[in-house]
Structure 1
Amino acid sequence: MRLEQRIGRVDRIGQAKKVRAINFVFEDSVEFRVREVLEQKLAVIFEEFGIDKTGDVLDSSQAGEIFEDIFISAFINPETIETSVDYTVSRIREEIREVRENSVLYGISDEPDIQAVERLRSHPLPHWVERMTVGYLNSHGGKAARKRSWWELTWPDGQVLQKCVFTSRENERYNDATLLNLENSRVRGLALNLPQIAAGQPLSCVAVNGLPANISGFWGLFEVRLQAGLQKHSQIIRIPLVRRRYLSIFMTDEGKMFLPTARHIWDTMQTAEPKVLHSLSHEESLAAYEQILDAAEKAGKELFDSLQQEHRSSITREEERGMHAFESRRKAIDRVGLPEVRQYRQTKCDLEEKEWRNELEMAKQIVPEIRPLLIMRIVKGGACDYE
């Protein structure tokens, strides 16, 4: 991928000359053998998954760590190149398979699903983004003025955006307009900082068109988080310090919890906008909040356990990677001829390893958290046509 990126700096769009890229590698070297075996193995993956589906994986920071590990292992033990490459390829294959299974984009089949396309085309997300942005501006000192089919927006800091259109895709009709969606930094910032549900906050009673008429109870969407370390950003270790999963909960009026029904409600709300009928009182909202939060904490334990296991596995891989890396650096330093240079590099290596170990120890300290993102009461009769 690094070679491809270097070539891309020359062989780019608009290049009128023919570009030939020649890469040199020493024959009978460890690097040559690793690349030779690795390219043979990767060719099989390209054939199986397609280059377009492997590019994001091979160009990721995790892939860089994988390839770094294999080269370090090959330099330390050249006789185990075949075994190291096989192990590396299996990790890449598993990573690609996980991306395909968990990604909506990669999960799309070669045959287009006409109904899925129609649902995406008519998705109410742009409308939700519009209501969020306009509501924020009107309540925080900004201004939102409707102009025919677009908006003129004035942000609280004074920035003015004229002819703004809320849409999730490009359209020839809006060539001269400013498209506002979740890719816009300001809009994305609003979405990422939406207030959480607080205890006692009035909970809405809603009807959702498309649900069975007998569904009645409380539904909630929660974020299960694992926060590791004492700092937000790590400078040395290569593992994520925040991991999250999302959990939907449905509890009937009798206090019974049904997770499949919760997921069905969530799927339905992707295309059917809920209609707010009224709100519960403060006392009713507080009691419902505590009840569904307690249920979410119990149901979310399994999710947090899986996050914890992922984190522990990452810690183990990071320890192995770091130990190999520092061991390789020290062997290289020992071969330096000048004592002063050798001592300077050794001291610098010791300091970096100490800092790495400190960050690693802090990363082992984890804090669980569950955050309510949305709680509402689903009323009976949601299947009726209330529009």
Structure 2
Amino acid sequence: MNYKGKPCEIVGEKEVFGQRIAWIRLIDDNSFLEVPYEDLEKSQSKYSLAYLRFIAIAAKIKDEVAKKNLLAPYESSLIPLPHQILVLEKVMQSQQNRFLLADEVGMGKTIETGLILKELKLRGEIKRTLVIVPKSSMMQWQSELKDHFNEVFHLYDSEMITSMTRTFSNINADEEFNFWTQHNQIIVSTDALKPLEKRQGWSQDRVDEYNKYRMTAVLDADFDMVIIDEAHKMGGATSTVSRYILAQELCNTVPNVLLLTATPHRGKEDHFRRILQLLDPDAFAGEGLPNIEELEPYVIRTEKRFAVDYEGKKLFTERHTHRLDVFLDINKHQKQMALYEAVTDYVRKGFNTAKQTKNNATGLIMILFQRLVSSSTAAILSAMKGRLERLRLGEENHLEDYSNEIDNRVDDYGEEVDFEDIYQYDPRGFEDEEALLTALIEQAENCMRTENDAKADALHHKLLELQGELNDHNLKVLVFTEFRTTQKMLCDFLRKKGYKVAFIHGGQDIDERKRALLQFKNESQILIGTDAAGESLNMQFCNIVVNYDLPWNPMMIEQRIGRVDRIGQKKKVQAYNMLTNNSVDLRVYEVIEEKLNNIIEQLGIDKTSDVLDSALDLKKVNKLYLQSLLNPERFDFASDQWLNEIKGKLKEYKSTEGVLPQVDATEINYKKAAEIKHSPLPYWLEALIEQYTITQNGSVIKNYAGYSEVHLQNKTKKISFDAEVSLDNPGVEHISLQHDWIRKILNGIGEFDQKNGIPVITSENGEETPGYWSLWQIRAKNNFENKTQYQGFFIADNGKQYIAYANDIWNRLIAGTTNFTLIETQTDQNISEIEKTLNDSLFIVFQNLEVEILNNMASKKENRINSYKFQKSRINKIGIENIRHSKLTKLEKEHEAWMKEFKMENKVIPGIKQLLTIRING
């Protein structure tokens, strides 16, 4: 039946004052209506082979979905790898969704998180999610969750929160607004959220208001899940650090918690325990390192050496790092050498002046200028012109003024520098900085006019050498620089040499970066990237990385190389670190890159990026650079002292390396991932859309680009069932199980109406067995569980059932390989007798489903009670009394209501629906 053109089912009917009334359920949205019976329209018979195929495919898809233990892998735009599927299984099989995901760097923890998030959403267990990440990763997280899982997250940065705070605090309303409840899925940076204890110039009332609209409001926003990236940074030096207090209160408030870090222990037992207490304060309340048995219910870690692809082959290739020396020749580069020495002398004087006047801002600018002159003449010239202009205008001169030059990474330059602890052997400062800058600018301009840039020439020669060695003139090379002026210089230089060049920097939004990445992948030979390209984009199609200039933070080099040394890389990664023969950078490089690597190799440690993150103190690394710059005579002593300290830390790291439970290689089943990779679901979805479109008098045309154009009801839409095709072709929709169109089509499948007659088909060769084929939906459900199965049956004219033949017909209808012809629609008086014959078979299917539900109910009750106890113990630890009280009250009410409902509403109710019946003539 239809109501106003929409398919519906009659649930019941009655007569009131002579008027016939019907209760109906609309198939589209599952809503119930009470309507006059006369308004119902009889479904018209529109039987065609396309319609029969459409129903058969729809039922097969729904049956496949009903059977799946995990749906998220089929709902993502990528095919999860074996170890990622294992992580999802472990989390879903657990009684609590509170885990530390500690896979090694580059193993795809973001993808694992997306899978868990998607699975919990598909099961209806979560709705509101808060993701806390470093500021630099916000756009990457937003992009990956949208691209791979079609999950839309809203970014809440400091500026937005401040703006919304002003707006909401000025609203005069009877009930206070909480802007954290305006979106269900939010990504926020750690710094934007952490509470303040005090701030210079602020009253306590202002500090309290600041915290109220951040931490307090977030705790009161009823999130179902919190995800914390780089969770080791939340541990803090003590339990009183503001970011740890934030994490602690949040994790006590929210039932589902995922912490992500490749380096959770960092060789520090107390720090590690604090991180673990975010998951379960009681389980990790002791001291010292927990044992493996304690950690296993909460920690999942997979090592790179166990990671395999869909065929069981190792995922990660070898990586080789090379030093690429650039020798400045006195005959060719005399002016560049003189400029470097002159700027270095200027930096020393500036640093001395900054220390004498206690002006840290100038000291940081001097550090920046030293790095700029090591990068390129163009970069230091641009910065010196900017400083001279500000000095002449009498403006404040802060590091932030150069944020556009250094790609908005000013925080990397000075937050870990202790100026008071740096000793200079030459205490001279500025006498006339303006005059000195004017002369340096003239010197730099003259240098640029008359000499080729030595590093740029060396890069060009290296590119030619690599193209020749690998016999590939279209070789892809990723070049990193810290500075945008150097980036622009290199782009111009290499284009003049005939290369196709793309570029990425922090001033671009995520879409611009993606377009540049696509240009690099499909057209350009070279991508010049600032460190913005090292934060958010994966480039496994390239395996050559050149670090044109070297950041002072060694982890940044790891992050850069990590853009290509990732899952999916098919070739050996080759990284080249360019280094000019100047005294400042060369000395430090030899210590940090070469001597440190020797120590790591001697200790037998191969997890370089994990180790660096655990052992390196950036403050002391920066001090080494400054020692090399300001007091080179003491550098050897300082570097040896530093190396001895690092060696001790690395030995401690080595001793605690085995503290984490490791995923065993035998647990990783590549065949499960292969099943998803080769799943027929995308093909069935494509066939479903094709047959549905035909039944609606539309058409589907597939083009060479891999996507289809659907013409339906005077509208055209571009669609693809392959996520990569959709990503590569803007405007093409990716069609998956959860796409609104698919859900609407599948939900719109109504019950077969015998009053419209039964379609009769015949085989062209006459070899089919005569009889009736039918397709049924059998359901068993109560208020807590819902099990459904779709089953085909065949009853021959001799009265016998043939299950195998029924499935064969179903499969042939789906595949379109039948030789059937639709000849007529007939009314068959025997159909009711056939249904009686099927009754026992349908009942057996229901009984099997009922047993499954009853078994699940017992464990569901046990899990619920355990969850209630766990949540209660956590909420009792919330430090803010009014929030603790309201959360406990709410928990008690919800638990009582659930237990009462469980007791009353657990009886299993059967349901059957006939989807299709066909008469087959032999």
**Shorter-chain TM band:** 0.5 to 0.7
Within the candidate set 851, 855, 871, 1:309 is matched to 851
* Cα distance in 1, alignment partners of residues 890 and 700 from structure 2: 61
Instruction: Determine the structure 1 residue equivalent to 2:796.
Output: 252
Question: Within the alignment, does 1:201 sit opposite 2:756 as a pair?
Answer: yes
CA contact 2:769–2:920 (8 Å) conserved in 1: yes
Distance 1:154 1:214 in 2: 37
Between the aligned partners of 1:326 and 1:39, the Cα distance in structure 2 is: 18
Secondary structure of 2:767's counterpart equals coil
CA distance in 1, matches of 2:296, 2:700: 62
Match of 2:770 among 216, 220, 226: 216
**Residue in structure 2 matched with residue 275 of structure 1 by the alignment:** 820
Deviation of 1:121 (Å): 12
**TM superposition shift of 1:352:** 1.8
Percent identity reads: 15
Alignment of structure 1 residues 1-387 onto 2, 5 Å: 3-4=100-101, 8=110, 12=140, 21-23=262-264, 24-26=271-273, 30-31=283-284, 32-33=290-291, 34=293, 36-38=295-297, 100=672, 105-106=675-676, 126=686, 128-136=688-696, 144=698, 150-154=709-713, 160-162=715-717, 164=718, 175=729, 178=732, 183=737, 184-207=739-762, 213-229=767-783, 241-271=785-815, 272-273=817-818, 275-282=820-827, 284=828, 287-288=830-831, 290-329=832-871, 347-380=889-922
The structure-2 alpha-carbon separation of the partners of 1:122 and 1:298, relative to structure 1 and needing over 3 Å to count, comes to same
Normalized against structure 2, the TM-score is what? 0.27
Q: Is the Cα–Cα contact under 8 Å of residues 244 and 307 in structure 1 kept in the other structure? A: yes
1:312-351 Cα deviation digits (max 9, x unpaired)? 1221112111222334455667889999998766544431
Q: Partner residue of 2:339?
A: none
CA deviations 1:53-80 (Å, max 9, x no partner) are 9xxxxxxxxxxxxxxxxxxxxxxxxxxx
Residues 277 and 357 of structure 1: is their aligned pair in 2 closer, same or farther, counting only changes over 3 Å?
same
Instruction: Give the CA deviation at 1:369.
Output: 0.9
Matched AA of 2:851? Q
Cα distance in structure 2, aligned partners of 1:165 and 1:343: 51
Q: Which amino acid aligns with 1:254?
A: N
- Change in Cα spacing, 1:178 to 1:206, as seen in structure 2 (3 Å) is farther
Residues 231-282 of structure 1: CA deviation (Å, up to 9, x unaligned): xxxxxxxx5x321012111100111112122122223333214634323432
Change (3 A) 1:364 1:254: same
1:220–1:249 contact (8 Å) kept in structure 2: yes
CA contact (8 A) 1:126 1:168 kept: no
Kept in 2, the 8 Å contact 1:197–1:375? The answer is yes
8 A Cα contact 1:208 1:269, kept in partner: no
**Cα deviation, residue 133, structure 1:** 2.8
Deviation at 1:35, TM superposition (A): 5.1
In the alignment, the residues of structure 2 paired with residue 337 and residue 181 of structure 1 have an alpha-carbon distance, to the nearest angstrom, of 46
Shift of 1:191: 3.2
Contact 2:792 2:810 in 1 (8 A): yes
**1:308 Cα shift?**
1.1
Q: CA 1:335–1:277 in 2, change beyond 3 Å: closer, same or farther?
A: closer
Q: Deviations over 1:78-115 (max 9, x none)?
A: xxxxxxxxxxx9xxx8xx99x95xx992596xxxxxxx
Q: Is the 8 A contact 1:222 1:248 kept in 2?
A: yes
Per the TM alignment, residue 379 of structure 1 is displaced from its structure 2 partner at its CA by 1.9
Offset of 1:302 from its aligned partner? 2.4
Unaligned runs of 5+ in 1: 54-88, 109-116, 139-143, 230-238, 381-387
The separation in 2 between residues aligned to 1:342 and 1:169, in whole angstroms, is 44
Alpha-carbon separation, structure 1, partners of 2:873 and 2:752: 55
Cα distance in 2, alignment partners of residues 345 and 179 from structure 1? 42
Distance change >3 Å, CA 342–CA 269, structure 1 → 2: closer
Rounded Cα–Cα distance in structure 1 between residues aligned with 2:732 and 2:882:
60
CA contact (8 A) 2:759 2:822 kept: yes
Aligned length: 296
Provide closer, same or farther for how the CA distance between residues 279 and 358 of structure 1 changes in structure 2, counting only shifts above 3 A. farther
Letter in 1 for 2:868: F
Deviation, 1:225, is: 0.7
2-structure distance, mates of 1:124, 1:7: 30
Tell me, what secondary structure is at the counterpart of 1:305? helix
Is the Cα–Cα contact under 8 Å of residues 762 and 823 in structure 2 kept in the other structure? no
SS at match of 1:195: coil
Query: 1: CA distance between counterparts of 2:883 and 2:297?
Result: 35
Query: What SS is found at the alignment partner of 2:273?
Result: coil
* Contiguous gaps of at least 5 residues in structure 2: 1-86, 88-98, 103-107, 111-132, 145-229, 231-260, 265-270, 277-281, 285-289, 312-662, 704-708
Find the structure with the greater CA-based Rg.
Answer: 2
Instruction: Give the equivalent residue in structure 1 for 2:177.
Output: none
Give the counterpart letter for 1:105 in structure 2: E
| CA distance in 2: counterparts of 1:107 and 1:176, whole angstroms | 24
Distance 2:299 2:868 in 1: 30
Structure possessing the higher relative contact order (Cα contacts under 8 Å, 6 or more residues apart): 1
Give the secondary-structure state (helix, strand or coil) at the position aligned to 1:267: helix
CA pair 207-175 structure 1, distance change in 2 beyond 3 A = farther
